[in-house]
Amino acid sequence: MRPLIFAANWKMHHGPTAARAFLDRFLAEYHAADGREVWFFAPAVSLMTVASATTATPTVRVGIQNVHWEATGAFTGETSVAMAAGAGATAALVGHSERRHVFGETDAQTGLKVRAVLAGGLLPVLCVGETLDEREGGGTLAVVRRQLDVLRGLDAAALARLAIAYEPVWAIGTGRNATPRDAAEVHAAIREQLAGLGATADRLQILYGGSVKPENAAELVAEAEIDGVLVGGASLDPASWLAIVRAGGD
């Protein structure tokens, strides 16, 4: 059984003070459950705060939202994998749609970042997904396959150390989301492609992201192909996030 992952992406919210207050409220009511993990992708300035607050909670993982692929250098404003790890991160988002579509990150750059994150001992979560135009043009699977192709050349051991997040761009922050069945079909296609690249398909963890809310989280994670959710706006409030983390549980 693959564990269910409930990953919060705080984006540019919750500096250290706000992060501490959030976790005080969240951890006071959070109860660990077998087969479930909670991940926090916090702003870089809040990593140490989140890591310190959750160090005694083994079912919680801390991640960074973005890294540079170089180890050091004249890259003002960037964060290396080693810096993220030193601040407490054990995972890193790579290729989030905002990095691709707001900041112009390319497939080639996401490939470099995946390899840097793996080399640095962190778990990369590679984000893939199509725009509304691409979806309406029938290009969903072609886009996702192209974005996954950056993993070509990695061996089975490396592929086993990463996760994928399918985030249809048209569903992020819009209130619209793919139906659980639609999402599951794309997840199955992702699993098939990665199996073709040499991954052990039944061990791959594939998350869904895109307007996930307490109202739809349980239905999403009930799909066998969906191994959890990557959540933006609804993860910013402790009560909302607790409701999602408990989705579909006993």
Catalytic pick among 14, 37, 68, 96: 96
- Let me know the angle formed at the C-alpha of 94 by 105 and 235, rounded to the nearest 5 degrees: 115
Measure the CA–CA gap between 68 and 72, rounded to whole angstroms.
9
Closest by CA to 7, choosing from 169, 147, 127, is 127
Q: Is residue 96 among the annotated active site residues? A: yes
Work out the burial of residue 221: count CB atoms within 10 Å of its CB; fewer than 13 is exposed, 13-18 middle, 19 or more buried: buried
- Let me know the angle formed at the C-alpha of 160 by 90 and 229, rounded to the nearest 5 degrees: 60
Q: What are phi and psi of 163, to 5 degrees?
A: -130, 160
Measure the CA–CA gap between 99 and 106, rounded to whole angstroms.
9
Angle separating helix axes 16-29 and 47-54, nearest 10 degrees: 20
Which two tokens mark 2? 């693959």
Catalytic pick among 37, 98, 130, 167: 167
Active site residues: 96, 167
